[in-house]
Chain A
Amino acid sequence: MIDEYPGLGGWTPDHLGVPGVVRQVVTAPDPVLSRPGVEVDPCDPEVVQLAADLVATMRVSPGCVGLAAPQVGVGAQVFSVDVTGHPKAVTVHGTFVLCNARVVEATRLRPGREGCMSVPDLTGDVKRASRLVVEGALPGTGEPVRLVTDGFEARALQHEIDHCAGLLFLDRVAGAHAIYQRKVYL
């Protein structure tokens, strides 16, 4: 699936060249989740290790489709995403990590329910763009990438980019009746 869409140039976590270590996920109200992450040097060995660790931690976490550096206690603009196999996903870029990512185009807002490993007991309805263009840099090489995506993957990217800006889905819920106690834990 990875090469089917342009943008990542066949990048996989193997390109990082270091094994990932599973890190502890922090939960709100940890202050690191509410601070904007700093921009990083994508070629910094610490950033490369962080990228590998995010992928490793995401992979061992059931139902996790994305994980941002602040969620493992690091205030940095780095996140991993993988919506492969998710029933709601349309466009799928496989497993990837982006540094210093920003949204450059966001259109067609759609509501959807979101949860978060850092807010384990609540879910919420959030409107997100369903057509999205994101630019960022690949860890390890610093190569700039431009991802065009939609639907569920677009939602995951916006959720993670928010984490890197110190925002949680709670900061975007639609209204007083749009937060819920989680009933099902994956």
Chain B
Amino acid sequence: MNELAITLIGPDRPGIVADVAEVLARLGANLTDSTMTRLRGHFAMTLICTGPAAAEVEAALAPLTSDGQLVASVRAVVPDGVAAPAGEPFVLTVHGADRLGIVAAVTRVLAEAGGNVTDLTTRLAGRLYVVVAEVDLPAGTAAELTARLARVAADLDVEVTLRPADSDLL
């Protein structure tokens, strides 16, 4: 079974999801995990699907991308076999005046501590820049990481908080 990683981004308009999903369904491509969201007026779709070959999907999407507005990429990927190493889930918030390099500096600190970002959202609202990241951390690293994040945040003149993710499950 082919597994495909597909990304599409273009100006938001009603019907993008329907158009893309219809193409995939017609080819017998099974949409598995996906994220589709609007980012400052652009609509971005990131999805994994199984079924047809990459070239087939590319050809079928061509009519949607021919006007140059919607940009698509399709490539075959190796199905997920290896489970990511389990860590302790944390949520990180950074907020402050927008400036270059906030995400780069903060995520570098996480990476150096062996943290794995599993989800991340940024929002620019006026002058306010907000980052919320979900990150798995190696056991026992949170306290030291908090101190290192505080130093980076001070350099960037932003606020940072790191807290355990809520994990109450039924």
Contacts and interface: CB of A to CB of B under 8 A. Distances in A.
Q: Does B bind A?
A: yes
Contacts of B120: 176
A175 B132 contact: yes
B108 interface: no
Interface string A95-122: 0000000000000000000000001111
Contact of B166 (A34, A168, A174): A174
A27 B119 contact: no
A149 B134 CA distance: 32
Contact of A175 (B130, B159, B165): B165
Contacts of B130: 122, 170, 179
Interface in B118-139: 119-121, 123, 125-130, 132-134
B65 to A, nearest CB: 27
Contacts of B126: 27, 120-121
Contacts of A171: 93, 95, 159, 161
Contacts of A85: none
A176 B95 contact: no
Contacts of A17: none
A183 to B, nearest CB: 12
Interface in B42-77: none
A181 B125 contact: yes
A177 B163 CA distance: 16
Main secondary structure of the interface of B (DSSP, over half): strand
Counting chain B residues whose Cβ lies within 8 A of the other chain, the interface size class is 20 to 34
A175 B118 CA distance: 11
B97 interface: yes
Contacts of B97: 29
A130 B18 CA distance: 41
B113 interface: no
A174 B107 CA distance: 19
A28 interface: yes
A28 B95 contact: yes
Contact of A122 (B119, B123, B159, B163): B123
A176 B103 CA distance: 14
B125 A119 contact: yes
Contacts of A178: 132
B127 A176 contact: no
Given A173-B91, A174-B91, A179-B123, A27 B128 contact: yes
5 contacts: A29-B97, A167-B161, A173-B91, A178-B132, A181-B123
Interface of B: 91, 93, 95-97, 119-121, 123, 125-130, 132-134, 158-159, 161, 163, 165-166
